[in-house]
Amino acid sequence: MHPAAQQILGHIRDSTSESERRVRAQSSSPERAAPCPDPTRIMRLTDLLSPERVGIKRESGEPFDKEKAIGLLATLIGERDGVSVAEIERALLEREQLQSTGIGEGVAIPHGALPQLSEQVAALLIVPDGVDFQAIDDATVRILFGVITPKRATGAPLKTLARVSRLLRNKDFRARLVASADEQAVFDLIKLEEGDSISTTPRELPAVAAAASSVRPDGTEKKGAT
């Protein structure tokens, strides 16, 4: 697994540890538990996205920074389950203050958790000219994959991060996303790439297979994974 992704995984684990303790304490109240997904089903990022939650921010001559990028991601995610866009933006910003979610190679994965949500939801923002995100490699970020998760769904953020990291490790694929003509084209590219990668799993590159095997079925990272 990419070293930067490993570091972000650690911070996600830290930020969800309190939620895990609360879930264990509330185990006698099954009605409050988040829906349990089918463990045999492979998660696709397009399950969390839609064409309407994809945006492209092109150069307009106006200042565009990290905070505005996160605000735009929150707007793309939109109000849901009684949670406002402002609350989503606040959750993303609060997590970002712990450490930048820029994992390198022009990719960032802003994320947060809110107790009111019933399921994960994501948005994707493409910034062809890049935005300074204080990324781990100091490179500007051009692909931002934002995720908001139910606070009690402790394993889901780790699985999502691993999936995003695997999908976006391909330099050519990242370039094609950034060069997409419109939002629908971005979504279609991801849908096609996920379909290809899932159907050709036995022939995956060793590095990709290793990244997948470094995460347990419950979403936690195995000790000693590289």
Which residues are annotated as catalytic? 111
- For strand 121-131 and strand 54-56, is the pairing parallel, antiparallel, or unpaired? parallel
Write 178-182 long-range contacts (CB < 8 A, 24+). 178/106, 178/126, 178/128, 178/142, 178/143, 179/128, 180/56, 180/126, 182/56
At a CB cut-off of 8 Å and minimum separation 6, what does 45 contact? 122, 145, 160, 163, 164, 167, 190, 194
Report which of 72, 59, 197 is spatially closest to residue 130, judged by C-alpha positions. 59
Chain-centre distance for alpha carbon 50: 14
